[in-house]
Amino acid sequence: MGAETARKEYRQWPVELLRGLLRRYSPSGKEQHAVEFLAATMEEAGWETSIDEAGNFVGERGPKFGPRRIVFLGHVDTVAGEIPLRESEGLLHGRGAVDAKGPLAAFLAAATRAQLPTDLRVTCVGAVEEEAASSKGARHVLDKYRPDFLIVGEPSGWDTLCVGYRGNCHVQLRVEQDKTHGASGVASAATQACRFWQAALAAAETQKQGDKVTEQASVDVAAFNTESDGLKESATIRLDIRTPPNHDAAALRAALDAAVPPTGKLEIVENLPPFRGSKAGPLVREFLKAIRAAGGKPRFSFKAGTSDMNIVAPAWKCPSVAYGPGDSSLDHTPNEHISLDEFLRSLEVLRRVLEGLK
């Protein structure tokens, strides 16, 4: 077999695994076909596979009662908006190529090829509903594992380690009152909801830790609705408040409570605190070595969004990073695509990491 033929065969299966995942459109709540594909495909590749009660794909390799365990937590679901699968000039286009089927496929391929340490159990979870507020898949496994190492499958770039994310507080205010006249001087339900939004913006400004986006709190209007039957009126506003590390959560909550109008009701839909992991330790050390060995100059990042890392890393309290191929600026966009060269580079980085965790 020639060298070129060997290279083609080496890359064929991982890329076909990724293509197979991308062909199965799986927005949050509709992940079944993608999960079933993973379970069948990885069982053929020698993994122990199952689908748990939440609908997560679970694949395992290594000694069943090995003293050490590494969990890779990726997610199978995507945001809505199907993108036809196509390849052009080394780029693979499809919904989830970056966020986050690319990282999931890279890890599964890497762990299949790796010569694992004899005492290391590898567990790969393809979680459901990461893109939904429920984070159903991650919450389901929260009490099932206490791993020694955690890799969260999110696009960081093949030569970059993400060590944390801002938090996200989802809040919803509903204002209900008798219908008002525009000239009465009584603020409408919609006006009061908008004033609450302005108060949230002012409260976020007080949480500023620095000039970087990741050092600031931000407020995004996720939804705004008004209703009226001519007698009663209502307004509902939902805000996503991103919070930096070391922010004053109590002060932020107090400011929100103080801004609730007399006829309003505030609901905290979800509150994910920010998480920042360490840039040191055995897991980071193996990643740095692996990236350098693959010809890269390792970098660190802290992301402005959130991920399942915010849920599991604080609970598991083990060395944790987020890692995966892809440009995260393409997340959720109609032009989502991944470089196959980067995908394969990240696969090699992950293989070296797994083999190096002695």
> What is the arithmetic mean of pLDDT over 50-63?
97
Shared-domain flag, residues 126 and 194:
no
What pLDDT, in 10s, does the model give residues 226-245? 999 999 999 999 999 999 99
What pLDDT, in 10s, does the model give residues 308-336? 999 999 999 999 999 999 999 999 999 99
154 C-beta neighbours (distance < 10 Å), count: 29
Shared-domain flag, residues 7 and 140:
yes
What pLDDT, in 10s, does the model give residues 28-42? 999 999 999 999 999
Is 77 an active-site residue? yes
Please report, rounded to a whole number, the percentage of residues in the chain having pLDDT higher than 90. Answer: 91
Is pLDDT of 3 > 60? no
For residues 147 and 71, the answer to whether their CB atoms sit within 8 Å is yes
What pLDDT, in 10s, does the model give residues 167-178? 999 999 999 999
Is pLDDT of 141 > 60? yes
Output the six-digit token pair for 36: 């079933």
Query: Please, what is the Cα angle at 205 between 204 and 207, to 5 degrees?
Result: 65
Is pLDDT of 274 > 70? yes
Q: Which of 242, 272, 302 is the last residue of a domain?
A: 272
> What is the arithmetic mean of pLDDT over 132-144?
94
Q: Which of 248, 272, 296 is the last residue of a domain?
A: 272
> What is the arithmetic mean of pLDDT over 338-357?
97
Total number of domains constituting the chain: 2
pLDDT class for 66, splitting at 50, 70, 90?
A: confident
Is pLDDT of 11 > 90? no
What pLDDT, in 10s, does the model give residues 74-83? 999 999 999 9
The CATH number of residue 238's host domain is: 3.30.70.360
What Rg do the C-alpha atoms of the chain give, in angstroms?
23
Shared-domain flag, residues 221 and 308:
no
Shared-domain flag, residues 93 and 188:
no
List for the chain the helix, strand, coil content (%; round to 5).
Answer: 35, 30, 35
> What is the arithmetic mean of pLDDT over 248-257?
96
Is pLDDT of 6 > 50? no
Show the domain range for 122: 3-165+274-356
Shared-domain flag, residues 193 and 44:
no
Please report, rounded to a whole number, the percentage of residues in the chain having pLDDT higher than 70. Answer: 97
Shared-domain flag, residues 52 and 146:
yes
> What is the arithmetic mean of pLDDT over 66-80?
96
Q: Of 60, 129, 130, 131, which one is the catalytic site residue?
A: 130
Q: Of 31, 77, 159, 308, which one is the catalytic site residue?
A: 77
Going by C-alpha positions, the residue among 125, 29, 139, 33 that lies closest to residue 77 is 29
Residue 178 has φ and ψ, to the nearest 5°, of -65, 150
Shared-domain flag, residues 278 and 172:
no
pLDDT class for 298, splitting at 50, 70, 90?
A: very high
> What is the arithmetic mean of pLDDT over 246-275?
95
What does the pLDDT read at residue 51?
98
Shared-domain flag, residues 159 and 137:
yes
pTM (two decimals): 0.91
Shared-domain flag, residues 25 and 159:
yes
